[in-house]
Amino acid sequence: MVDSFTTLFDVIIRIPGLLEDTDNCLAGIPGHEATDLVDHLLLALSDLETWFTFWLGGSDEPAYTVHDISTFPLFFQMVQDRTFAEGFRFSSWMNGYIHSLYWLCGNFSSAALLDLLRVNPGLANPETVNRLRVNIVQNTRSLCKVIPFYAESEGGSIGLCSTFMPLKFAATFFQLAGLKAEYDWCEKVSSSIYRNGIAPPYKLDQESEPWVQEGFLAQSPHPPKKHNSLLGRANNPDNFDSTSAEWTKKPALSGLES
């Protein structure tokens, strides 16, 4: 039996190889052509959108519903920051999980494309480039709106663990993009929702390593190379001006809604 989870993995299983090929292309290793990679990444993004439309957006029931943050009572009590005034509610933990994968993999693919197009600007038109930037911000905000659903008591330990990657990704992106209110929200969520001995790996590292400075995004003394890290690629500071949230040498982000 084919279900939405199976078909999504048929798409996202291709993405790690494309990211590795992008690394090699940007490093100048022969045998990795930017033109082919741009085509393959655009196809992956198209297939992700097709999956979303057919399996989730095209169903009789909505893929998720949008609710005021007060309808997530535990999260509402623990996190006083109202930067994100709404959250997404899903029919099940699995449905929320596959949405998170969809938004994360869309961001990784879009960011790899931006890396390639920054050094090969003739391979795409400006409208495509701007759409990729807008999609990354919208996807990241969507990831934040999943977290209240995960953090409620009925989500249990697996719900809390499901926040690790979306929250880390979002915090890294917002910090580098200069979106202070959104970054502060991530900090407050990280310091509030974890309980019963559960904490993300990066939080545990901060508590156990004396060289780590205070703050949710403290870095290792041996950080990974930018293009060898999924978070590093998708939050590449070369793509935007960290002081103004405008993309470097590109038009400012516009038309974005929280």
Q: Please write down the HEC assignment for all residues of 31-42.
A: CCCHHHHHHHHH
Supply the pTM of this predicted model.
Answer: 0.78
Question: What is the pLDDT, as a whole number, of residue 203?
Answer: 60
Phi-psi region of 196 (alpha: psi -120 to 50; beta: other; left: phi over 0): left
Residues in the chain: 258
Please report, as a single letter, which amino acid is at residue 179: L
Per-residue pLDDT of the chain (258 residues), as tens digits, is 567 778 899 999 999 999 999 999 999 988 889 999 999 999 999 999 998 888 765 566 777 899 999 999 999 999 999 999 999 999 888 889 999 999 999 999 999 999 999 999 899 888 999 999 999 999 999 999 999 999 998 888 888 888 999 999 999 999 988 999 999 999 999 989 988 788 887 764 444 433 333 333 333 333 334 444 455 555 554 554 433 333 333 333 333 333
pLDDT digits (tens, 9 = 90+) for 219-228: 333 333 444 4
Take residue 184 and report the two structure tokens written for it: 């502060």
Question: What is the pLDDT, as a whole number, of residue 201?
Answer: 78
Residue 8: is it exposed, middle or buried by C-beta count within 10 angstroms (0-12/13-18/19+)?
buried
Question: What is the pLDDT, as a whole number, of residue 87?
Answer: 97
| Among 82, 235, 104, CA closest to 171 | 235
Take residue 85 and report the two structure tokens written for it: 């005034």
The kind and range of the H/E element at 54 are none
Question: What is the pLDDT, as a whole number, of residue 12?
Answer: 94
Q: List C-alpha distances in Å: 93 to 66, 142, 181.
A: 16, 16, 28
Question: What is the pLDDT, as a whole number, of residue 183?
Answer: 93
- The residues, ordered by sequence, that sit 6+ positions from 150 with a Cβ below 8 Å of its Cβ are 93, 96, 159, 160, 162, 163
The residues with which 140 forms a beta bridge, in sequence order, are none
Q: List C-alpha distances in Å: 131 to 42, 118, 125, 127.
A: 12, 14, 10, 6
Phi-psi region of 178 (alpha: psi -120 to 50; beta: other; left: phi over 0): left
Q: How far apart are CA 18 and CA 83, in angstroms?
A: 35
Helix (H, G, I), strand (E, B) or coil at 200: coil
Question: What is the pLDDT, as a whole number, of residue 115?
Answer: 93
